[in-house]
Structure 1
Amino acid sequence: MKNELREILEELGNPQWILSFLPREIPGKIIKKLRNNDYFIEPLIPCPLEKGEFADQFYLPPISEPELKESDFVFFKWENLGKNDQGDPSNKKRKRNPRARLLRKISQDSIAQIEESIAKFGQDIQSDYLLQVNEYLSGVEKLQVDLELREKDLEAGKKELDDHKAQIDNQLKIIEPYRRFLPINEDEIDLDIPDFPEDLNTSWIRALSQSGISPSQSKALETSYLISLLSAAYSGSLVLLNGSVGVGKTNIVKKSAQILAGREAEIIPVRPGWLDPSDLLGFFDPIKEVFRPSPFLTALKNSSSNKNRFSLICLDELNLAKIENYASDLLSALEYSQAENAQGILLYSEDIQDDLLKECGNLASVESESLSPKEKIRLEQLTRLLNDYRAHFRIPPNICLLGTLNSDQTTYELSPKVIDRAYVINFPPAILDSSDINKDSDPEKINITPQLLREKINAQKEVIDREKLRKSWKILCEWNEKYLKKLVGIPLGHRARRDFEVFWSITELIKIKSDVGQGEIPPALGHFIFTKVLPRIVFNIDDTKNNLFQEWLKELSEYKYYDPGNVLEQLESKQNNRYVISYWKNS
């Protein structure tokens, strides 16, 4: 019986679970008597130890009575149940055995009691073993049922996926001739998108200085330029750099592109003969039936290769021709380029585009081997055209459009439409005797993504001090009624109100604070006056207007700190002109 139970328990792995079934009185047999009346007992039922082993014998310490001899039967208690850390302490070399405590000796007449105890233990073990086996088999059957159900679900899912795949393949075969000609909207992903700089204005001035641009005497030009650049990028406006030849207008654009965008600026020279949008954008060639893009439009297209970086495009000497003639479509489209439903610039008729798509579809549906060399060239030509230059060309959202101009007798005046949509930075005359000549070096990069800038400005608009904003706007509104409407033909409107809020938000975002001595003048108001308000000044001289203008100049003198390029000084000097006072004309 003992051996049979032991085989069962060994099959179960770790048999210590049966310790709870051991009887309180374990039956055993004296197998050896030692000199000091200590004994070794052989258990008559399996007694499992740790690590899957079994106790073959127990050590019984010396006892005075009853006197035992070998082959006697006894009942004993396992002192440290399941452990083998007891034994005969007198012999260090002897194998350590579990320690037993004698309960009583069994007489010859009580042998049947031992057999009954052993039989009951065996029945308990076998019963529990069968119970575990049944539970195990029941669990296996349940797992098999679950597995079969899952296999059926997987088969049904696979069939459904195969059906969907077949449908998609079917649709792809239908649209394949046209699919390659759809606009490509995938952006180059820049995974290293940094946080917004903490002190952007300081970093900006330092980077310009590193690139070889000396700080302006007014200390306002660089800051006004930065605020205007960010405002124009956000709202889809134009930044105009006004000044005489050689003051560094084009150079600062090039350096700005290296600092903000990490790539070169696109400088597009404007020609005096430009008369309509085709000179700026390109034209559709009706003979070859293709669109011929201009360098400017190519620069716009290339800007979309990485929309996570700003792209600075500059129209150099933009008033050599009348900008309202060649760029009116661009200015209107630029203002709404940030809207989700922006249509973009219309390059050619949508009917022409439909005809081109049909031609592409017909050529693409023919096997390549069956196309003639001329047809293959035409297909490749149309593929590039319809990928790059759709009828409605979307202006990429990362564009910063700038323009340089000279205000003299050889150039055209700007129209109110252009001035109202522009931020103007006036450059002072070049200082040639300065001893502070900076060495041109690689400037530090300021990594701001267009999307991050938009998110930051939108968030800042929610937390700006509306009361201070209203007070400053009230000053501009009073000037608008008192001076602008009576002097000039370009008063402030709703666009200026929107631009002022953006301008204010950016000034707070990049942490521009009032310098010592400027009192309570908000920096946003000071910079906005010189970039968006004063460029509207142009009027015919008479005594009434001249007196009104002098009164305004007196009020403006309080904001002289924010003058980027001797604007007030130049306006004061123009009071002696005979006919016209203009922000733009030098004489």
Structure 2
Amino acid sequence: MIKKNRSWWKDDTISNLIGRKQIDWSIFEYGTHIPMDFHEDFVVANQNIEVPLGQSQRVLLITEGNQFECNLSRINQRKQNREALQIRYDTNSELKDYMIARFNSSYNYLFHKRNQAASTKNPITVPEQYAEYLEFYATDNPFVYELKFITNDIPIPEDHPSIWWVCQGTSYNTQKQEGVLWAPLKNIGGKTQHHWETMKDVKVNDIVLHYSIGALRAVSQVQEAAVERPKPASLPDQQWEETGRLVVTEYHELNPPIPLEAISQDLLQLHITKGPINKKGGVNQGYLFPFTLQGLSIVQNKSKDTPWPEFTLLSEVEEVEQDVELVTLNDEETSAHLQIVKGYIQQQGFTYPELLIENFYISLKTKPFVILAGISGTGKTKLIQKFAEALGATEANGQFTLIPVRPDWNDPSDLIGYKDLSGTFRRGKLTYVLEVASAPENQQKPYFICLDEMNLARVEHYFSDLLSILETQRWQEGRIVTDTVVAEDQVGRNIGIPENVFFIGTVNMDETTHPFSKKVLDRANTIEFNHIQLDNFIGLENAAVSIEEESESLYPTAQFLTSNYIQLKDAYAENKNIIQSTVSQLVKINTILESIHAHVGFRVRDSICFYLIYNERFSLMTPEEAMDMQIMQKILPRIQGNNSVVKKVIIEFLLFSISGSISNSKEYVDGERDIEQLWAKHISENNVKYPQSAKKLIYMLRRLDHDGFTSFWVS
């Protein structure tokens, strides 16, 4: 009997065959989903040993004298009332490279199709007559499978020509005169380069953009595919072999040439795999790079005064399948998924203090603006990047954007954009993200913006408009919307800050940076992690070990992070006890802070209440631990000064953090009793109500005594 489901197939008459998988892009990226109809076949192959639901089992793949490790993972999708089975090898680059080499025909076809794609809707598949397959066979041992390859050596014809970008430098004129491209096979050391190897993928009728000395100077249509030829005598001698690949192509000069600066920022947003544009908007070092139809369209739209030959005027680009499945998590699943996120981060070789990931998550859930503070080199930026990756947001797919802040930023134009002298609006990096994130097809995906070293410039100068717009959040048709950031006359439609966009800033507090105003502190959770444990090797030891539970490309939707509350009334009815308990603590704290005008208002009250509610819902920390985090992040950063009143506030707050009461504070303020001794006694007895806050206050008190001034930020 023959069984078929999606890209899987099985003939029961073939001995030991578990299933045959038609090759798609997942094979080159992470592994493969296994349809429900084939789950039992894998159980039988594993000698009736089932992988427990929600866990992974290490698997050995053997083929052609090679052995590769991967995971067989069984995922519990409670919300969809189903389970999923997957073979995963995300971190096994050796196996992925092997798959690319064995299925090179499919890889090249899918690679170029994906690079030509405009969005992620319809599936890209290799035409059936050119399809390749991977077969899994049972062996004598459970969780050990033999692989067999059914390959196709015939090049797959494409509907569209591929687009290429060649960097020719000073050799441009010579190669143009001869009507060729040429790249060596290997350098003088006998090594090849990926930007030379691309020459073998160039086909007749492909389109090539020619870059030289700061501008695109020509476009050409390939007349003859690459053949091995010695270096043309007209080309200068270089440090490489004389044998290379030569492509014959028909050049058409672009007049006027198109400057790189006119197109680079727009091209950056395409995130072209191994493309020509680097993160700074310059060109990557190399020769021939894959480009895309969208990129060609951008270049053409930016060069209205440049005539383009007819062969470059192509039809609309295609759309491809979304590679990951987004799922909605309930409260119980949210807590479990955070453990997956923590496992992923640790698997990448990074270890952070206990409860930091949980704290970071709830902080983002409470308000989509978080500040990470700490000494240089503590992994602030990596935390953001790896947290985003664990949720399916990467630089490659455009859902993670790193924006380094410059000291000369003094208004929002550096982020949002500006009108040039011709009246054309030049989008900033932030505008690109807001445009993409607000598109209907992307509203379920989270987008992370990392403002790196955000206090190199005064945050109030370049970010204040965005902070104000964040305060306009309101409910509209079940979604959170804001006032407009970029107007219709600038980008064609009004764009606010979508609910699926999250801002995280990293800060170092030293002589090169600026402090924060209360306007900024009120609107952010400020997470400080200066404690460094250099001899903690857990992350390094686990970096090579796959985590037991994986999200398996079943990433949560943006609702995983989007707030459920805007105003306290949104949460009050269902969380009355938590809110009243939290507010009673804040009333006591305000009594302490009023003498230095550092007491908190309704905005901070609401934010802290939301944080405590989320913590209770997801069962991430004890109520005391959560309140301790909020005192550290929302209240202590407000305290600074150099007088006796500030010292009195710190001592009273320290007493409150130790015991929850400020009784007998006068004895400690007047010096009749030693607050340090009280602190040491309670620490030794493990009897401190809010230990992190108390520890920080002790440090601030010491700085006040030693230096005559103190602040949360003094390091």
Short-chain TM bin: 0.5 to 0.7
CA contact (8 A) 2:434 2:496 kept: no
Mapping for residues 536-575 of structure 1, pairs under 5 Å: 536-538=638-640, 540-558=641-659, 563=692, 567-568=696-697, 570-575=699-704
Counterpart residue number, 1:297 = 431
1:210-268 Cα offsets, whole Å, 9 max, x none, are: 32365544x232222121011113xxxx2000001000100000011112344342110
Give the AA of the match of 1:316.
D
What's the secondary structure of 1:211's corresponding residue? Answer: helix
CA contact (8 A) 1:283 1:292 kept: yes
Counterpart residue number, 2:444 = 308
Distance 2:474 2:336 in 1: 28
1:98-124 Cα offsets, whole Å, 9 max, x none, are: xxxxxxxxxxxxxxxxxxxxxxxxxxx
Compared CA separation, residues 321 and 246, structure 1 to 2 (3 A): same
Give the AA of the match of 1:326.
Y
Distance 2:691 2:573 in 1: 25
Counterpart residue number, 1:480 = 590
Question: Please, which of 341, 344, 347 is the counterpart of residue 483 of structure 2?
Answer: 344
Question: Please, which of 449, 455, 461 is the counterpart of residue 319 of structure 1?
Answer: 455
Compared CA separation, residues 453 and 247, structure 1 to 2 (3 A): closer
Counterpart residue number, 1:396 = 498
Counterpart residue number, 2:516 = 414
Compared CA separation, residues 206 and 568, structure 1 to 2 (3 A): farther
Compared CA separation, residues 304 and 581, structure 1 to 2 (3 A): same
Counterpart residue number, 1:196 = 330
Distance 2:518 2:365 in 1: 22
Compared CA separation, residues 453 and 406, structure 1 to 2 (3 A): closer
Give the AA of the match of 2:614.
I
Distance 1:261 1:335 in 2: 28
Distance 2:464 2:359 in 1: 25
CA deviation after TM superposition for structure 1 residue 461, in Å: 2.8
Distance 1:193 1:456 in 2: 17
Distance 1:197 1:468 in 2: 17
Q: CA RMSD in A?
A: 3.2
1:138-164 Cα offsets, whole Å, 9 max, x none, are: xxxxxxxxxxxxxxxxxxxxxxxxxxx
Give percent identity, aligned residues only: 28
1:70-89 Cα offsets, whole Å, 9 max, x none, are: xxxxxxxxxxxxxxxxxxxx
CA contact (8 A) 1:338 1:397 kept: no
CA deviation after TM superposition for structure 1 residue 495, in Å: 0.6
CA deviation after TM superposition for structure 1 residue 342, in Å: 5.2
Counterpart residue number, 2:710 = 581
What's the secondary structure of 1:308's corresponding residue? Answer: coil
Compared CA separation, residues 412 and 468, structure 1 to 2 (3 A): same
Counterpart residue number, 2:361 = 226
CA deviation after TM superposition for structure 1 residue 319, in Å: 0.3
CA contact (8 A) 1:428 1:564 kept: no
Question: Please, which of 236, 242, 247 is the counterpart of residue 378 of structure 2?
Answer: 247
Give the AA of the match of 1:255.
K
The structure with the largest strand share of the pair is 2
Distance 1:190 1:202 in 2: 19
Mapping for residues 99-498 of structure 1, pairs under 5 Å: 192-196=326-330, 198-201=332-335, 203-212=337-346, 214-217=350-353, 219-233=354-368, 238-264=369-395, 265-285=400-420, 287-305=421-439, 306-340=442-476, 344-347=483-486, 353=489, 386-387=491-492, 390=493, 392-438=494-540, 439-440=542-543, 444-445=550-551, 447-451=555-559, 461=571, 464-482=574-592, 484-487=593-596, 489-498=597-606
CA deviation after TM superposition for structure 1 residue 523, in Å: 4.2
CA deviation after TM superposition for structure 1 residue 393, in Å: 2.6
User: Which is greater in Rg?
Assistant: 1
Compared CA separation, residues 401 and 546, structure 1 to 2 (3 A): same
Give the AA of the match of 2:426.
R
CA deviation after TM superposition for structure 1 residue 284, in Å: 1.4
Aligned residues: 347
Counterpart residue number, 1:371 = none
Compared CA separation, residues 200 and 562, structure 1 to 2 (3 A): farther
CA contact (8 A) 2:657 2:691 kept: no
CA deviation after TM superposition for structure 1 residue 510, in Å: 1.0
CA deviation after TM superposition for structure 1 residue 472, in Å: 2.5
Compared CA separation, residues 195 and 225, structure 1 to 2 (3 A): closer
CA contact (8 A) 1:224 1:531 kept: no
Compared CA separation, residues 566 and 240, structure 1 to 2 (3 A): farther
Compared CA separation, residues 526 and 460, structure 1 to 2 (3 A): farther
Distance 1:245 1:500 in 2: 28
CA contact (8 A) 1:512 1:523 kept: no
Give the AA of the match of 1:296.
L
Distance 1:451 1:437 in 2: 29
- Tell me the TM-score normalized by structure 1: 0.53
Give the AA of the match of 2:358.
T
The structure with the largest helix share of the pair is 1
Compared CA separation, residues 258 and 294, structure 1 to 2 (3 A): same
CA contact (8 A) 1:241 1:402 kept: yes
CA contact (8 A) 1:239 1:424 kept: yes
Consecutive unaligned residues of structure 1, counting only runs of 5 or more, are 1-187, 354-384, 515-520
CA contact (8 A) 1:220 1:563 kept: no
Compared CA separation, residues 335 and 494, structure 1 to 2 (3 A): same
Compared CA separation, residues 582 and 246, structure 1 to 2 (3 A): same
CA contact (8 A) 1:320 1:410 kept: yes
CA deviation after TM superposition for structure 1 residue 562, in Å: 6.1
CA contact (8 A) 2:366 2:563 kept: no
CA deviation after TM superposition for structure 1 residue 280, in Å: 2.0
Distance 1:270 1:322 in 2: 10
CA deviation after TM superposition for structure 1 residue 526, in Å: 2.6
CA deviation after TM superposition for structure 1 residue 549, in Å: 1.4
Compared CA separation, residues 405 and 503, structure 1 to 2 (3 A): same
CA contact (8 A) 1:460 1:509 kept: no
Counterpart residue number, 1:503 = 611
CA contact (8 A) 2:371 2:526 kept: yes
Distance 2:691 2:448 in 1: 25
Compared CA separation, residues 227 and 276, structure 1 to 2 (3 A): same
- Tell me the TM-score normalized by structure 2: 0.44
Mapping for residues 69-80 of structure 1, pairs under 5 Å: none
Distance 1:202 1:565 in 2: 31
CA contact (8 A) 1:329 1:345 kept: no
CA deviation after TM superposition for structure 1 residue 435, in Å: 3.3
Distance 1:311 1:524 in 2: 26
What's the secondary structure of 2:583's corresponding residue? Answer: helix
Q: Comparing 331-340 with 470-479, which one deviates more in the overlay? A: 331-340
Q: After TM superposition, which residue ranges in structure 1, 4 or more long, deviate above 6 angstroms?
A: 188-191
CA contact (8 A) 1:330 1:345 kept: no
